[in-house]
Structure 1
């Protein structure tokens, strides 16, 4: 027996989190959530931290969950606090990351009655949540305790697959404690179910595969999965099958086409010959906008493999949505699959890829100092067996032009593709995995937007941040449209002359800078050296913002003329 909060509902929650293996919990400071602090921190059974900025706290928790594969509760007070969690909740929803929001609330009778820090919290994440429940104020009977137990167990179980929200109203007293009195209950478990397709379905799919002469597989964002890669190997080595991946697919294979946009530039003049008649997709988001446009114009059949969002029709030709895990599908589909070479379609794509590599290397050898050149130098400096976090907008797009590093894990917030939590997510991942080096490459606007990520006493020294500073949102000079307006600099690029130097000084972050290729080569070697304050190190690289788009367009023109 030990002292805990007087709130029986919180005691039930604590026991449920422990039974389901939750280890890390992130708090945001407040008062209404005091029973949760007293009950959870007071138990001494969890690794708990408190971060003052709610938006950053939620993305920090997201980074831990990305790295560990376990739900990480993020807990806040009532009012607007939980609205600040919304960007991270949406990212978890579309990226399918384990995530659990627990919000304190005012009692129902005080909603919309002018009480402080009181808003309509129930259902606030309705558009991007897997499960949500607003519990009664406090269980007073055995039946109400059963209700709490049942709902909490359901929520914690479902949080393993995606975001879940538990909203708990609390009456005062909030800080009172007592000896724990609840009776222990058995857990409710939702076991993982292995799904199989019928023999008839597998036979039909194999027949369609056999009939298709030009087959293409695209793998989107996913964690590294050796079993998936092993099973995919039979299709990777099929000369009729082109397998396209991105670095966020975390697949490195000599037969794969790793840089989609780079290869598409090579085949532009004869692209009709590279269109598939059968497309199979695995994984999550694909960065390349060009491959989406390329395939949407084709006449093809598309099989989407995966349990999440089965009706997502990215390429406008969905004919089969197969709601089983990629590994389960490949185990069935490839078992005894006969491979006969008839078209050499996969070889054709790979030969274009080889040509693109040669032109890519020749182009970069002549390139002046710019964003693309910086990405080349950064790419070559990433330590082996480390984690590389890619910021959104131009950074993640530049990264797709370089072959993935074999012993590096790639991560990026491509669920919603927002810039709002790039730094915090990488910081959370580094915190969860202190044995690995974690490098975040991020643009200046993304960094400044999430600079409160450095307002964090739990940052770890295995985190390195590289800010590519081109004086604004360089992506808007690259994509077509903004450059045709008179508002380009002020309303799209958002030009500025700020630096990260004094932000780093405020938060005790070692600061380095570079404004040329020579300085970058020198300071990137310094970047990974140990530091005395056991905090992260940041390298800010200043590039000429008004010419980066010209160099990138010239790069693609060179490939296209090759």
Structure 2
């Protein structure tokens, strides 16, 4: 058989990957990757996704990996195109998602020679990619062909074992690159043997071995808490965590954002991060050990809690990575999640009455919080970002199969607070927590599930990835993009730099904790007044005052007056070198807030995407109904004044946690009763206290 050598080797790679289970490949256009592109194009049973921009391609593949749970291949040409994939690879590395990155390259002898579109691609992703293969130039020999098949099998295995993650495969090609440029003849007998070798693969995941037992780390008398952070957990792992919790009466707190099959009916604590806002709740955490799965917690409350925890903290990590700042009380056990939970399930079943009481009590407190939260957000409202997020859950109540994707920065934090209200599968990019590639990732999730999908995204993240709208429109992906436009990087208003702008010190905030900015209000406003139906609701909305550029006049005046009062007029700060007065307000707006000033609806229209602005709850409800009646790429935009919205969110949260604290006001009495061993059943005790 006469063929092109580059193309034939590429066919061997592609056929082997398909046999091992590859379903999806994302391909960006280029010349040097022609053999790979044509080899993938020849496979009819494969889902092929042509994507112009490499950065979008990488994140789209990430979304496919999230939704399908399987490795996804990504193909690009040589040069800077390779670097464009790096952000998605970083996210995949930190999220433990399997991407097989196939980068075409110029021949090695052209490196460092000034040759066009040639960079050193060797180990370019080394810091965020644990496995690297350089296939070298192809050779026309049966031994070389067999080796290509073997290496491809290793590539697949390393993408899923012992843990999921990205694998970089660098493939140099010499010209000619096109399949029609015949330069090689393959013996038919050799071809037959190669086909038999590929067909001999089982087409199933490689087996995983049990590595260690950790059950001996937990004594039968010890009070233990388990926390599940962000990770790509399997449904089987979640099921076994539920069995472990029920069998040993050990609470399992779920911080991972997405719903997995069966998760809603499992005995998990879902509001752990929110409950940590309550000092009374933290008093009850009389645990001897905490076991942590996963990393990259969305809740800052959990991160701070772990940093201050002075008892034993066992960190489960398949890669042996630490959790937070090193400390003497922390122990990292290198073991994969499934092996760890199987080991824990094999522990002795004896446990103390103290453990049973704590287990029942924390679950009841979790329910108390949920009940108060549901009551606070029972009405559809767009008066703040967190109420809008709760409203999304309400509008999707009868659509539990619909995936929802939350962008990083404020959207995911608002979701984190009302996560209990969602019955849907929820996805986030919390590996490296960047705001890049969000639209492309959500598009990949929608494509992987073959379902309409809702994306909640901020204005900066939208701006950063708006070229992915071409991908969404071109593939007609049924993505409802809910754009929260609060005038730039509003998350910085939650950080110490904002207090610096206001002329306040952060001396009492050494860890950079999020602080309430309720002091920005003219007068103290209660949670009940915020929650209640009153005319003040209308003054909070940015979108009811178009004549001020979308900002409510009262709020605009309030913001400016407070900025000037705190910083400009009353206490001018001078530069230590020049002696000139500094304007921290302008610095904050210029270097942190960074409002783009863009008309996002016109941007969407340029890509042929349907769009509308949401100015009322009725508008929001209608937009959701229209989208699900006829799913198509759609942008809906809701505008907020970030400072006013923050005040309202603070009041709502303070009202809820105050109600929880009232329910726990006699907790010291409970502890004293327990210590005297005159304890009644925790269920009855809490029921009596919370009537």
Specify if TM > 0.5: yes
Residue 579 of structure 2 aligns with which residue? none
1:182-210: CA deviation from partner (whole Å, max 9, x where unpaired): 63162578721231645xx63x23xx332
Q: Give the 3 Å change call, closer, same or farther, for CA 479–551 of structure 1 in structure 2.
A: farther
1:193-240: CA deviation from partner (whole Å, max 9, x where unpaired): 231645xx63x23xx332323x21111224564433332234434796
| Contact 1:465–1:539 (CA under 8 A) maintained in structure 2 | yes
Q: Where does 1:62-81 land on structure 2 (aligned, <5 Å)? A: 62-81=62-81
SS of corresponding position for 2:83: helix
How far apart in 2 are the matches of 1:270 and 1:478? Answer: 24
2:270 corresponds to 1:173: no
| Contact 1:99–1:163 (CA under 8 A) maintained in structure 2 | yes
How far apart in 1 are the matches of 2:111 and 2:336? Answer: 43
| Contact 2:611–2:634 (CA under 8 A) maintained in structure 1 | yes
How far apart in 2 are the matches of 1:361 and 1:47? Answer: 42
Taking structure 2 as the reference length, what is the TM-score of the superposition? 0.74
1:54-77: CA deviation from partner (whole Å, max 9, x where unpaired): 100111111112211222111111
SS of corresponding position for 2:613: strand
Q: Give the 3 Å change call, closer, same or farther, for CA 430–8 of structure 1 in structure 2.
A: same
1:13-56: CA deviation from partner (whole Å, max 9, x where unpaired): 12322221212211111111111122221344532221111100
1:512-546: CA deviation from partner (whole Å, max 9, x where unpaired): 22033343233333332205xxx322221112223
2:537 corresponds to 1:440: no
SS of corresponding position for 1:428: helix
1:311-368: CA deviation from partner (whole Å, max 9, x where unpaired): 3223755654444443333334224623442152233333433443344345546987
Residue 314 of structure 2 aligns with which residue? 303
2:389 corresponds to 1:289: no
1:403-440: CA deviation from partner (whole Å, max 9, x where unpaired): 43574212111111111011101101211221x33211
Q: Give the 3 Å change call, closer, same or farther, for CA 28–107 of structure 1 in structure 2.
A: same
1:370 is matched with which residue: 357, 377, 384?
384
2:510 corresponds to 1:500: no
Residue 36 of structure 1 aligns with which residue? 36
2:96 corresponds to 1:96: yes
Taking structure 1 as the reference length, what is the TM-score of the superposition? 0.89
Q: Give the 3 Å change call, closer, same or farther, for CA 230–26 of structure 1 in structure 2.
A: closer
2:272 is matched with which residue: 216, 238, 260?
260
SS of corresponding position for 1:303: strand
Q: Displaced runs of 4+ in structure 1, greater than 4 A? A: 1-6, 187-190, 315-320, 361-368
| Contact 2:61–2:444 (CA under 8 A) maintained in structure 1 | yes
SS of corresponding position for 1:508: coil
SS of corresponding position for 2:353: coil
Greater fraction helix: 2
How far apart in 1 are the matches of 2:30 and 2:293? Answer: 42
Of residues 296-305 and 138-147 in structure 1, the stretch that sits farther from structure 2 once superposed is 138-147
* Deviation of 1:271 (Å): 2.6
Residue 314 of structure 1 aligns with which residue? 324
* Deviation of 1:110 (Å): 1.4
SS of corresponding position for 2:226: strand
Q: Give the 3 Å change call, closer, same or farther, for CA 500–54 of structure 1 in structure 2.
A: same
SS of corresponding position for 1:526: helix
| Contact 2:71–2:159 (CA under 8 A) maintained in structure 1 | yes
Residue 401 of structure 2 aligns with which residue? 385
Q: Where does 1:341-380 land on structure 2 (aligned, <5 Å)? A: 341-343=353-355, 344-361=357-374, 363-364=376-377, 369-380=383-394
Q: Where does 1:114-193 land on structure 2 (aligned, <5 Å)? A: 114-160=114-160, 161-177=164-180, 178=182, 181=186, 183=191, 184=194, 186-187=197-198, 191-193=206-208
Residue 539 of structure 1 aligns with which residue? 636
| Contact 1:421–1:450 (CA under 8 A) maintained in structure 2 | yes
Q: Where does 1:408-447 land on structure 2 (aligned, <5 Å)? A: 408-434=424-450, 436-447=451-462
Q: Where does 1:268-283 land on structure 2 (aligned, <5 Å)? A: 268-269=279-280, 271-274=282-285, 276-283=287-294
Residue 51 of structure 1 aligns with which residue? 51
SS of corresponding position for 1:546: helix
Of residues 256-265 and 342-351 in structure 1, the stretch that sits farther from structure 2 once superposed is 342-351
**Which structure 2 residue ranges, 5 or more long, are not aligned?**
502-583, 660-691
How far apart in 1 are the matches of 2:333 and 2:601? Answer: 50
**Which structure 1 residue ranges, 5 or more long, are not aligned?**
none
Question: Over aligned residue pairs, what C-alpha RMSD do you find?
Answer: 2.8
| Contact 1:9–1:148 (CA under 8 A) maintained in structure 2 | yes
Q: Give the 3 Å change call, closer, same or farther, for CA 142–233 of structure 1 in structure 2.
A: closer
| Contact 1:423–1:450 (CA under 8 A) maintained in structure 2 | yes
1:67-96: CA deviation from partner (whole Å, max 9, x where unpaired): 112221111111100100001111111111
